[in-house]
Amino acid sequence: MVVVAFALAVLAGTALLMLPQARTEQVGAPFVVALFTSTSAVCVTGLVVVDTPSYWSTFGEVVILGLIQVGGFGIMTLASLLGLLVFRRLGLRSRLSAAAETKATGLGDVRTVVKGVVAISLLFEAVTAVLLTLRFAWGYDEEWGHAAYLGVFHSISAFNNAGFALYSDSLMGFVSDPWICLPIAFAVIAGGLGFPVWLELYRRFHPTWAWSMHTRMTLAATAVLLVLGTVFVTASEWDNPATLGALSTPDRLLAGFFQAVMPRTAGFNSLDYGQMHEGTLLGTVILMFIGGGSAGTAGGIKVTTFVLLFFAILAEVRGESDATAFGRRIDPRAVRQALTVALLAVGAVVASTLLVLQLAAVSTEDALFEVVSAFATVGLSTGITADLPTAAHLVLVVLMFVGRLGPITLVSALAMRDRSHLHRLPEGRPLIG
């Protein structure tokens, strides 16, 4: 149901974007362009094959904004909300679907979770929109109506980790403006933590020892990755005259932090990734692949998957029988699920990179960057997206769709396939390493 619902949303968005009213030239967009843009919006990615502000009309931009919001909420979450509003109840099928998408702990908790998802989304989007609107109006002399439109669009795009911008160079024109960069960055972080974390923090902010392993793991990993990412990007690009080298020291620190936040699957950029060092691009690929928190607007394999594998490796190196974290023993089944998700993601990225290299005359690092950006629903690019052939665009469309739904449906399916056997086969022990 989740897969079909997202597919229908993509097709509906494609049809709307193919209308003449959606383009500034009043001519319907080609099917592949509309499909790519719709998929990128619904899957909250941000990759584009055309320049958003000049190619799409205001109607087209509003359609894209609506698709971002629908994709960020989640199709099943939105359907469940409508069911609550219209019928004031949820059937078993709706509760099962919403629980799978929002990672609700129980069927009785679905109503609370759905309402919480909507409340959290609207709260962060509203606060960010107000801050951006004031800055656009007072700092850049935009009329209040247009400033509000810019604020709302970028706030929704930021919290939902979509990365669509109404400027041709994304946010490069605001690289030195903390009143634009910081609200957008914090909205991205908030959306990337995941709704289960925010709901738990709302219910019991204190004491911290009562937090679940998932919340502790997500917050700790997010903080570590943000700090390490900021240090890495800033140090790597410090003397690059095409990126940080031309900025003052405070502006370098701001831009370094902003570029460390965006690979968490947001897609905005205040620096030109096409001018960055290859080492910086590789580090960004790693950050994109890890992604953000589960059951939120972020993509990637998720930080919990990455941290679970880290603690599993640590336990194996130490010779311990159980993997532990934050004073708790990790369920071996969760470790197997994390390993499955990570290996399938690696397989999808490697196969797609090879395919793109066969279809387009691009370098390996550019192809890898583009593929990981699509699979992890990030939206960052070195500038090759529009120049790729149609076949490569379709590969990225599939990757964005799989990246948005694959981890969700895969983990849900694995969680529901807990089968027991009345016998166990004789043990074998192949040599490892």
In a domain, 426, yes or no: no
In a domain, 364, yes or no: yes
In a domain, 114, yes or no: yes
Give per-residue pLDDT as tens, 257-284: 999 999 988 889 999 999 999 999 999 9
Give per-residue pLDDT as tens, 230-252: 999 999 999 999 999 999 999 99
Query: Are the C-beta atoms of residues 29 and 17 closer than 8 Å to each other?
Result: yes
In a domain, 183, yes or no: yes
Mean of all residue pLDDT scores within the chain: 87
In a domain, 421, yes or no: no
The DSSP element (H or E) to which 328 belongs, if any, is strand 328-329
Q: CA 76 to CA 180: how far, in whole Å?
A: 32
Residue 360 above 80 pLDDT? yes
Q: How many residues does this entry show for the chain?
A: 433
In a domain, 82, yes or no: yes
Between 212 and 74, the more confident residue is 212
In a domain, 179, yes or no: yes
Residue 58: domain span: 2-415
In a domain, 425, yes or no: no
Question: What is the domain count for the chain?
Answer: 1
Q: Residues 6 or more apart from 9 whose CB is under 8 A from it? A: 42, 67, 70, 71, 75
